[in-house]
Amino acid sequence: MNDDGPRYSYPVTSTDSSGVLVRAEIDVAALQANAAVLAKRLAPARLKCVVKANAYGHGIDIVAPALFAAGWRDFCVATINEALHLRELLGDDVTITAWLYGPTTDLDAAVAAGIELGVSTVDSLERLRDAARRTNTTARLHLKVDTGLGRNGLAPADWKRALVKLKTLDARTESDGADASATTPELEIVGIMSHYAVADEPERVETAQQTQVFDSAHRELSAVLDGAQGRLGEPERLEVHIANSPAALTLSPFPGTSARVGLSLYGLSPLGDQTSQDLGLVPAMRLVSQVINLKDIPTGHGASYGLTFTAAADTRFALVPGGYGDGIARSASNKAEVSIRGTRYPVVGRIAMDQMIVEVGAGDVAIGDEVVIFGPDGPSAAEWGEWAETINYEIVTRISERVDRVEIEPRPADGAGL
Ligand SMILES: *Cc1c(COP(=O)(O)O)cnc(C)c1O
């Protein structure tokens, strides 16, 4: 799969790449190495690869096949549309879990495609049962319990109601004369899941409290499944998952039988006090542009809209394609840095929709030079997060459709030759 050249995650209208100014190079070998590092850390719990939001901006059409090629078979996304796309991309030999849908979302296609779905409302249990009936398949479900995040998931009262509803649905199955061993069950509870709120702050007590709530919900669900004697799934086969990247990297003992890992798969650190390198991870995205104009600037000259920067001395400006139309944060204006020929230079003035100005002064810079906006050999996505007053998650995920994602060959570890 690696020898059919660069692949793009979005349709390209021109085959002439000379017009491409900003590229996100995706280091597939880094992705695969990160997955191996994380899986080793998690074992015996299993790695679920989170590839929602276009694989955190990296391009799902590059990322998912690369992980598949390295042997990974367990994927998570948020929405059903993402899940169906992934099913088409990877085929039937993978487990795909999705958890975000609304009261009018058509669930039939997802159930028919064997997508495993998170259940966060009592009503969706019946809707999923109906979808299973219509499509003549089993709906495979992960009950999602809100253990304190307050976002999605069944809150405590709804959790109790969901368990009662499950028993009701099972009683109907029983009275229909269905025999678990002879007919296809409509619902199979394959997992229980939750999500941490502060796992990136290891000193906080809420994480252990959430684990406790989760453990007790797990016991209650197991009792209900035991009572249904296999008609709703096997309690000892339940997949138990609450951990995200920060939890996977910090918690010991590790809670659950698997972890849903996103950010750190892409080689980024979810922890404020540890870098990618500290964690043995390699950033998989390198966002690059080029110098397309270079000009001498006299003292007192301004830069970009609002003239919020004024040259304090005679200097040179390099014009670099890349702006908020590419998903580069305007809020990093006058704070960000980029790297050219291994040297850091400041972004001066406001970042515009398509372009930014970099003050290169007397630096060794020529038209056509590559500009590393962020990546392993330039500023990190975490630094951009600080400059833009956000987090590295958002820095990579917001990279827009105009930027071409290109799969690259592994680069030398020391960055030589760049
Ligand atoms: C996005 C998401 C994850 C992955 O989180 P990371 O911190 O990127 O590892 C896991 N679970 C749920 C429910 C999510 O929404």
Token duo for residue 370: 């590559």
**Ligand 1 atom at minimal distance to the Cα of residue 270:** 7
What is the domain count for the chain?
Answer: 2
- Is 341 annotated in a binding site? The answer is no
Q: Looking at the predicted structure, is the pLDDT value of residue 8 above 70? A: no
- Count CB neighbours of 412 within 10 A: 8
Q: Looking at the predicted structure, is the pLDDT value of residue 4 above 80? A: no
Q: Looking at the predicted structure, is the pLDDT value of residue 288 above 90? A: yes
In a domain, 347, yes or no: yes
Q: pLDDT value at position 16?
A: 67
Q: What integer best gives the mean pLDDT of the chain?
A: 93
Under 8 Å between Cβ of 76 and 144: no
For residue range 59-110, list pLDDT tens digits in order.
Answer: 999 999 999 999 999 999 999 999 999 999 999 999 999 999 999 999 999 9
Average pLDDT over residues 333-341: 98
Q: How confident is the model at residue 174 (pLDDT cuts 50, 70, 90)?
A: low
Note whether 255 and 307 are same-domain residues.
Answer: no
Q: pLDDT value at position 412?
A: 55
Domain that holds residue 147: 28-275
Q: Model-level pTM?
A: 0.93
CATH code for position 356: 2.40.37.10
CA-to-CA distance for 280 and 267, rounded, in angstroms? 8
In a domain, 160, yes or no: yes
Q: pLDDT value at position 128?
A: 98
For residue range 187-246, list pLDDT tens digits in order.
Answer: 999 999 999 999 999 999 999 999 999 999 999 999 999 999 999 999 999 999 999 999
Ligand 1, pocket-test mutation among 96, 149, 244, most atoms within 8 A of CB? 244
Note whether 264 and 301 are same-domain residues.
Answer: no
* Separation of CA 31 and ligand 1 centre (Å): 17
Q: pLDDT value at position 19?
A: 86
Q: How confident is the model at residue 411 (pLDDT cuts 50, 70, 90)?
A: low
CA-to-CA distance for 263 and 378, rounded, in angstroms? 19
Q: pLDDT value at position 17?
A: 76
Helix%, strand%, coil% for the chain, nearest 5: 35, 25, 40
In a domain, 227, yes or no: yes
For residue range 311-335, list pLDDT tens digits in order.
Answer: 999 999 999 999 999 999 999 999 9
CA-to-CA distance for 232 and 395, rounded, in angstroms? 42
Note whether 242 and 328 are same-domain residues.
Answer: no
- Is 353 annotated in a binding site? The answer is yes
Q: pLDDT value at position 191?
A: 98
52 tagged catalytic: yes
Q: pLDDT value at position 170?
A: 84
**Ligand 1 atom at minimal distance to the Cα of residue 265:** 9
Annotated catalytic residue: which of 48, 167, 305, 345?
305
Note whether 114 and 235 are same-domain residues.
Answer: yes
Instruction: Single out the residue in 275, 303, 333 at which a domain terminates.
Output: 275
Burial 316-336 (b: 16+ CB within 10 A, else e): bbbbbbbbbbbbbbeebbbbb
Q: Looking at the predicted structure, is the pLDDT value of residue 179 above 70? A: no
305 tagged catalytic: yes
Q: pLDDT value at position 7?
A: 44
Note whether 357 and 211 are same-domain residues.
Answer: no
